[in-house]
Structure 1
Amino acid sequence: MASVFTAPPLADNGPGYSFKQTPTTHISADGTRQHSFYPYTDNGGSTLGISGADFTILAGDTRSTSGYNINSRYVPKLFKIGGEGPEHTGSSIVLSVVGFAADGDALKERLDTVVKMYKYQHGKNMSVAACAQRLSHILYNKRFFPYYVHAILGGLDEEGKGALYSYDPVGSYEREQCRAAGAAASLIMPFLDNQVNYKNQYIPASGYGHDLQPRKAELLPRNTVEELVRDAFDSAVERHIEVGDGLQMMIITKDGIEEVYSPLKKD
């Protein structure tokens, strides 16, 4: 990720900036000098999450962009939260962040610290529901200068069922069965709505016209979900230039977190 923060050469009259939009100065007719600076940029990429009966899968591509430039072909967007040491041994919660890479990294570090401190103080792991609420508080407390990211949190609830929480940048969140975020969210989410939530699917021969009975949503098996994730990203990379290079997938079960990497298109 070092290339994301590489600054351009210093200007003659001031420092250089690594952000997409550099500071600008406007002088009005009455001589008033107005300065403006936009501190955010969008580093592209997409993430998604799907929960099942006894597992949760989060996935994201590894491309980092700035405009039409590729900063790196391997920048992870999924992170283990909690656990022991820098390898997060024993962790059972995964956070995905997509948007401004620097804000995503800062948010991940802060939440990870909170979860580890909770275990140190209470002698037990924080539940995914408690972690979801704590993440909402972190985002809301910074609402006047928000983290420029779309976060998805996944784990297993106290009953061992898959739990998935999606957020907006200022902390509003809800538990869902599936959610896509990032540059290709508008391409991936309709696919998930149809294949996971069974929207616009009907039982064959159950009626005619408006009498057709909708297909009831059900929890999908793990192998089906993994195939859907790969299909979603294989189709997204064909249509979006900010998505590609590699697919990082984290599968959360009662046995821990399994990480799978597979290549995507690089053009």
Structure 2
Amino acid sequence: MAAFTSYVSSAGQPSYSFPQQQSAPSHASRAPIQHSFYPYTDNGGSTLGISGDNFTIIAGDTRSTSGYNINTRYEPKLFRIGGEGSEHKGSKIVLSVVGFAADGHALKERLDTVVKMYRYQHGKEMSVNACAQRLSHILYNKRFFPYYVQAILGGVDEEGRGALYSYDPVGSYEREFCRAAGAGASLIMPFLDNQVNLKNQYEPAAPQGLEKPQLVPQPLQRAATEELVRDAFTSAVERHIEVGDGLQMMIITKDGIEEVFSPLKMD
């Protein structure tokens, strides 16, 4: 029977013809392992808001995604705040949230509770201006573990004018004429800047030159604004896979909230 042959190296150590098993590294020399927890995800979709002379329109699509997967084709991103009961009867404030759907629902529930408690304690509805500031406080208090959402709040102020407020995830906010948020915001916001804010548009009858006056934004009529919202989303669904399926639109006036639903592309 043949025997395994070993050779002696120049250093005096045996050199075997088969590979030697490497010894496991000690615990001290093992590379550190990082454990992490990331609780957020982006569920796609887009929202927008436009304030008029005596109304505010907030709209959003109904598609919910995770990467390239569609979770559901009907996930509302617009919620009534305040009012009576679970049906929110008499409510005149709407919150739209886009980003992480679970955080959006949690934020909606918390703000709705605050507004209803105010009505219970003071015997009157909270104004949209006060609600806007309260929402800022809620977001700021969670700044170390923020709600992963972009929020837009809309209503009618105490003077009867449309009021629209946009937020970042940690509570910074401002009142605006129009604002888009979510996956399609980069497509929709330039369109709103052109049509609502009249950016880089000048008096057509004025002579050319550096002194040519820029057009001043004016509140739009309700019918024109509704058509503008539909055009914005119709364009966005052609270019973004996370936007589509249905368009939910809420029109807020001094008389209450009117909800309109219309279909969008489903592919």
TM-score, with normalisation over the residues of structure 1?
A: 0.88
Taking the aligned partners of 1:72 and 1:210, their CA distance within structure 2 comes to 52
Q: List aligned pairs for 1:116-127, cutoff 5 A.
A: 116-127=116-127
Q: Is the 8 A contact 1:45 1:60 kept in 2?
A: yes
Q: List aligned pairs for 1:30-41, cutoff 5 A.
A: 30-41=30-41
Residues 208 and 65 (structure 1), Cα distance of their counterparts in 2 relative to 1, 3 Å cut:
same
TM-superposed deviation, 1:31:
4.3
TM-superposed deviation, 1:28:
10
TM-superposed deviation, 1:33:
3.1
Query: Paired residue for 1:174?
Result: 174
TM-superposed deviation, 1:201:
1.1
TM-superposed deviation, 1:195:
0.2
Give the AA of the match of 1:224. A
Deviations 1:29-56 (A, max 9, x none): 5343321121100000000000001000
Query: Paired residue for 2:155?
Result: 155
Pairing 1:132–2:132 present: yes
Deviations 1:182-212 (A, max 9, x none): 0000100010001001111111120113232
Query: Paired residue for 2:87?
Result: 87
Structural RMSD (CA) = 1.2
Taking the aligned partners of 1:97 and 1:151, their CA distance within structure 2 comes to 5
Deviations 1:59-80 (A, max 9, x none): 0000000000000000000000
Pairing 1:257–2:257 present: yes
Pairing 1:229–2:217 present: no
Taking the aligned partners of 2:197 and 2:225, their CA distance within structure 1 comes to 12
Query: Paired residue for 1:71?
Result: 71
Q: Is the 8 A contact 1:65 1:242 kept in 2?
A: yes
Query: Paired residue for 2:240?
Result: 240
Taking the aligned partners of 1:137 and 1:216, their CA distance within structure 2 comes to 33
Give the AA of the match of 1:34. Q
Query: Paired residue for 2:216?
Result: 216
What secondary structure does 2:244 align onto? coil
TM-score, with normalisation over the residues of structure 2?
A: 0.88
Taking the aligned partners of 1:231 and 1:125, their CA distance within structure 2 comes to 34
Query: Paired residue for 1:206?
Result: 206
Query: Paired residue for 1:144?
Result: 144
TM-superposed deviation, 1:213:
1.9
What secondary structure does 2:35 align onto? strand
Taking the aligned partners of 2:78 and 2:29, their CA distance within structure 1 comes to 50
Taking the aligned partners of 1:248 and 1:112, their CA distance within structure 2 comes to 20
Taking the aligned partners of 2:108 and 2:28, their CA distance within structure 1 comes to 42
Query: Paired residue for 1:98?
Result: 98
What secondary structure does 1:204 align onto? coil
Give the AA of the match of 1:248. Q
Taking the aligned partners of 2:60 and 2:101, their CA distance within structure 1 comes to 13
Taking the aligned partners of 2:211 and 2:160, their CA distance within structure 1 comes to 37
Query: Paired residue for 2:9?
Result: none
Deviations 1:59-110 (A, max 9, x none): 0000000000000000000000000011100000000000000000000000
Query: Paired residue for 1:185?
Result: 185
Taking the aligned partners of 2:75 and 2:114, their CA distance within structure 1 comes to 23
Where structure 2 has 5 or more consecutive residues not aligned to the other structure, the ranges are 1-26
Give the AA of the match of 2:236. A
Q: Percent identity?
A: 80
Taking the aligned partners of 2:213 and 2:86, their CA distance within structure 1 comes to 51
Q: Is the 8 A contact 1:207 1:213 kept in 2?
A: no
